[in-house]
Amino acid sequence: MAARAERELDALVAVSSPSGDRHGAEDAVAVAGALLPAGASVERLTCSSPEHADDLLARVSGSGRARLLLLGHLDTVFAHADHRPLGRDGPRLTGAGTIDMKGGVVLALGVMRALAASPRAFAEVALLLVVDEEWRTAPFAHSQRFAGWDACLCFEAGQRTPDGEEAVVVRRKAAGTLRVSARGVAAHSGSAPDRGRNALVALAQTAGLVVSRHDPTGPQRLTAVPTIMHSGEAFNVVPAGGELLCDLRADRVGAFQAVADAIPDQVEGVSLDTEMVRVWPGMDSRAATTDVLAGAGERLGRAVIGAARGGASDASHLAAAVPVTIDGLGPRGGGAHSPREHVLADSLHTRAEVALAVAAALVQLD
């Protein structure tokens, strides 16, 4: 599995597949489809996000009892102009989407092929690859389809504990995107500045209010971070409008409302409209996965530790329907969403071992 993974990663990263690009998504789906086990049935599901290519669902049937979902995404944050194919820099395999999460996709495909070779161990193994994870604001469409399944394994990037032990992700924060739209009054910034109502100044003050709610060590571990602000169209005009976007993370979705409530309807004559444009649930599968991780550790011969991570993932959507949800089964690496993005080549082998051990513990494969 690990021997194939680097070649398969090369093929998948060669495809530029930014979120929302139908052509890139179709090419990535075609590559992934070519790497499925023989005999897998393939279905295309309507994507959660409008006007996107369809998601990919592949299935393999067996004669056992367990039903196992493997989960990943094929889209990246990189525009075509910023796409970088796979390269090697010492121990690193570099390229757009390597760690987030095409490296995980090739391991998920490898696990599916390995399980398909032992059909008596399971009733059904499915692989769901979506094409809109990076920029989705619509509700996730597929959770209830898998309600009642025995487990979901998601292949976002892997990690180690501070002590160097293999770790998987069993806890994630909820994630939200807060948008504030400002409506002021334009005026000449030189001859009549006080006749205007400055949307930029109002949004800057609003950003400060959001930051004042930042409380990462508090009871909800809330982080509140302004990330994008647009205002103004000319250097000599008081800005009449603008928009502020903020990234919110917390243990529970309810913590976001306190941030939204702190923003007034008006600042210095500028009207403010506040809304949540994206809300993803949190995930806490620590209790439900204890026995599985212990069984995986026994098979592996070294511990597999359940860990927490702040970043959002589609695993959080599935966890509400499938209590035994385990994420972070992909390779290790770093630099996600940046030109430094990479997979550590030797982790393709060690993390393949972890993923196979977890899958084997779930289906009781000897």
According to the model, what pLDDT value does residue 366 have?
A: 54
Q: What's the chain's average pLDDT?
A: 96
According to the model, what pLDDT value does residue 364 have?
A: 78
Domain termination site, one of 248, 278, 308: 278
Which pLDDT band holds residue 151 (cuts at 50, 70, 90)? Answer: very high
Which pLDDT band holds residue 93 (cuts at 50, 70, 90)? Answer: very high
Instruction: Outline where DSSP puts E strands in the chain.
Output: 41-45, 55-61, 67-73, 87-89, 92-94, 124-130, 151-154, 159-160, 166-172, 174-183, 223-231, 241-250, 266-267, 270-280, 283-284, 304-309, 325-326, 333-334, 342-344
Statement to judge: residues 49 and 122 lie in one domain: yes
Statement to judge: residues 9 and 153 lie in one domain: yes
Statement to judge: residues 328 and 339 lie in one domain: yes
Statement to judge: residues 105 and 82 lie in one domain: yes
Contact 79, 127 (CB under 8 A): no
Domain range enclosing 241: 174-278
pTM to 2 decimal places:
0.92
Statement to judge: residues 157 and 186 lie in one domain: no
Statement to judge: residues 147 and 80 lie in one domain: yes
Contact 151, 363 (CB under 8 A): no
- The whole-number average pLDDT for the span 64-83 is 97
How many CB atoms sit inside 10 A of residue 269's CB?
11
CATH number, domain of 67, equals 3.40.630.10
| Residue 130: strand pairing partners | 73
According to the model, what pLDDT value does residue 231 have?
A: 98
Statement to judge: residues 12 and 76 lie in one domain: yes
Residue 136 or 365, more confident: 136
Closest C-alpha to 93, from 356, 252, 297, 331:
331
- Which ranges in 117-253 belong to alpha helices (H)? 199-212
Instruction: Please name the residues in contact with 185: beta carbons below 8 A apart, sequence gap of 6 or more.
Output: 195, 196, 197, 238, 240, 269
Contact 276, 176 (CB under 8 A): yes
Provide the domain count of the chain: 2
- The whole-number average pLDDT for the span 300-306 is 97
Whether pLDDT at 365 is above 80: no
Statement to judge: residues 12 and 160 lie in one domain: yes
How many CB atoms sit inside 10 A of residue 227's CB?
11
Statement to judge: residues 211 and 328 lie in one domain: no
Which pLDDT band holds residue 226 (cuts at 50, 70, 90)? Answer: very high
Q: What percent of the chain has pLDDT over 90?
A: 98
Statement to judge: residues 269 and 215 lie in one domain: yes
Instruction: Tell me the C-alpha distance between 81 and 242, whole Å.
Output: 27
Q: Can you tell me whether residue 183 is helix, strand or coil? A: strand
According to the model, what pLDDT value does residue 255 have?
A: 96
CATH number, domain of 250, equals 3.30.70.360
Using one digit for the tens of pLDDT, what is the confidence trace for 176-185?
Answer: 999 999 999 9
Whether pLDDT at 143 is above 80: yes
Contact 166, 146 (CB under 8 A): no
- The whole-number average pLDDT for the span 208-236 is 97
Domain termination site, one of 278, 302, 320: 278
Which pLDDT band holds residue 142 (cuts at 50, 70, 90)? Answer: very high
According to the model, what pLDDT value does residue 294 have?
A: 97
Q: 59: which 2 tokens?
A: 């299935």
Q: Which of 69-73, 104-108, 266-270, 309-313 has the lowest mean pLDDT?
A: 309-313
Statement to judge: residues 9 and 136 lie in one domain: yes
Statement to judge: residues 31 and 116 lie in one domain: yes
- CA R_g for the chain: 23
Whether pLDDT at 23 is above 60: yes
Instruction: Tell me the C-alpha distance between 19 and 92, whole Å.
Output: 25
Domain termination site, one of 234, 254, 278: 278
